[in-house]
Each structure stands twice: as structure tokens, then as C-alpha cells.
Amino acid sequence: MSPGSKRSGKRSGDTDPVPAIDARKLTKRYGSGTSLVKALDRLDFRVEKGEMVAIMGPSGSGKSTLLHLLGALETPTSGTIALAGENFEGLDDRGLTLLRREKIGFVFQFFNLLPSLNALENVMLPALIAGRRDPKVEKRARSLLKRVGLARRERHLPSELSGGEQQRVSIARALLLEPELVLADEPTGNLDSRSEATVLDLLSELNSDEGHTIVIVTHDTTAAAVAGRVSFLRDGRSAGEVAGGDSAKVIRAFAKLESPASKTKKRRSSAKSPRGKR
């Protein structure tokens, strides 16, 4: 299947009373005084269960910040987040750690696999960290490796796998504990175009066939078009959204976002904050 040819598991019109993600008026500020950066500015962001949503926006627009807040890796300056009806607010460090570990699967641009563990052990890692090493976990890890097409690579170390294969291992790892939500920050940003297509197809199928809720940050309009909905950010605020599936439409909307007027704005904001991509 080519990217974009598959429909996302759930269209944005089908609403469930309890969304997978309900984030309201999210603000995240970094620094203070002249070095103050508003990475997110009163952003509302909702994702229904079973949806696949892509987040796009210029560099520095707040995409990673949003993902980090949704993944409870950082806390907002203000605003609220609920994951499947559970509010982050009021959870202590232990509560947040458990939430991250049990309910959210992360896929990063640089795979983040442990180099000394083989593929199977890497997939099992979230359970090992949680102190669970039982035959059921191993069975699930094996079936996930099979699901991502790597059944015969179980014993391989990350250094013995291609970039695309490593990313597929990290997707299997993200799914081990059956998370409510999978968060992927530029999961294809470090891959060649063939591996990119394989990884996108896999994410798309996990959404459409198995109902996983996925939020993916990407710079790539092809990757974004695989999602059911593409949500745009600019200067930490929502800059509209379009339905996925149609890459031409996504390209047009993204081009509008990157128009000269927005670029001037972007230059101004990046002059304030010299940090680049992360």
C-alpha cells in the first residue's frame, strides 16, 4: 500500500464521548524576561479514540512541545490535558510515570533503542522496566515483532538492523503495553524514502486495522497525508486543519502556512529563540 492510500481508522466526524486526548488552553513558556519563549499559546487539541492525527508546522511552531506535554514528559505552564478521561493535573510524579509507562507509546526520530539489547529485548523493555518479565510479555513481544515484519530479526542488535528496521522495532516496543495513545515525533525524519514508506504504511495499518490512536509530528506532507486529519501549528497556536488522505490538499495547506508572510513571522520568532530542531 502506498502512503496516503489508506483511510484512517476513524474519521473526525465520529465522536466518542470520551476522547483519547482532550487538551485545553495549553500554554508552555520557556525562560523569562527577554529570553521568554511562548512555545504553546492557549492551544486546544482534541483527538478521538481510534484517530490518526498528523501535526505539521514550521520549525519552532511548538510541535515537539505539544507532543512532550501530551506524553507527560513535560508539564504545561497552564492549561489541562486528559488522556482517555484521566486528567494529568493532580497526578504526582509517580502517577505521571505510570501514565507514561502504561498508557502512552513513544516513537522517536532517532529510534532510541538500547544498543546492547537485541530486538526482542528492546521490545520487551517497557515491561522489564515495570518489573514484569513473564512468558506472556515475551509472547506479546514476539507477536509484535512478527506484526512489524521482523520475526526473523529477534536476536539482532540495533547496530545489525537498518534504520527502517530499527524504527519498526521501536514501534513494536511502543505497542507492548497496549497504550491508549501512540505519540510519534518525526518517526520517518531519519529514514530513506523506502523505509519511510514501510514505516508509514505500518503506522497507518495499526490505526486503520487495529484501531490504535496515533499522533504523529512530521515535516513531510506525504507522511501527514497518511493520517485521517492534519492539524497545523504556527507560533504555538492552531493554524487550522485539513482532512488527511489527499496529499495535494495537505501540500497546498502547508504551503499556505509557509507563505512569505508566515515566514517573516517565523524569522521574528526564531530570532527570539535560537533553538533549532529537536
Ligand X SMILES: Nc1ncnc2c1ncn2[C@@H]1O[C@H](COP(=O)(O)OP(=O)(O)OP(=O)(O)O)[C@@H](O)[C@H]1O
Give the interface with ligand X as residue ranges (CB under 6 A). 30-31, 37, 39, 57, 59-65, 273, 275-278
**What string marks each residue from 17 to 56 as x (binds Mg ion by CB under 5 A) or -?**
----------------------------------------
Q: Which does 188 bind (CB under 5 to 8 A by kind): Mg ion, ligand X, none?
A: none
Site for Mg ion in 227-266 (CB under 5 A): none
How many CA atoms does the CB half-sphere of 13 hold within 13 Å? Answer: 1
Measured from the CB atom, the residue of 56 and 120 that comes closer to Mg ion is 56
Quote the cell numbers at residue 255: 504551503
Q: Which stretch binds Mg ion (CB under 5 A): 47-55, 60-68, 154-162, 253-261?
A: 60-68
Q: Which does 61 bind (CB under 5 to 8 A by kind): ligand X, Mg ion, none?
A: ligand X
Amino acid symbol at 48 = E
Distance CA 189, CA 173 (A): 19
CA nearest neighbour of 253 among 213, 225, 214, 211: 225
CA nearest neighbour of 141 among 108, 116, 166, 178: 178
Q: Residue 64, interface with Mg ion (CB under 5 A)?
A: yes
Q: Which does 31 bind (CB under 5 to 8 A by kind): Mg ion, ligand X, none?
A: ligand X
Measured from the CB atom, the residue of 64 and 118 that comes closer to Mg ion is 64
Measured from the CB atom, the residue of 208 and 231 that comes closer to ligand X is 231
Q: How near is the Cβ of 13 to Mg ion at its closest, in Å?
A: 29
**Cβ-proximal residue to Mg ion, closest one:** 64
Q: Which does 19 bind (CB under 5 to 8 A by kind): Mg ion, ligand X, none?
A: none
Contacts with Mg ion by CB under 5 A lie at 64
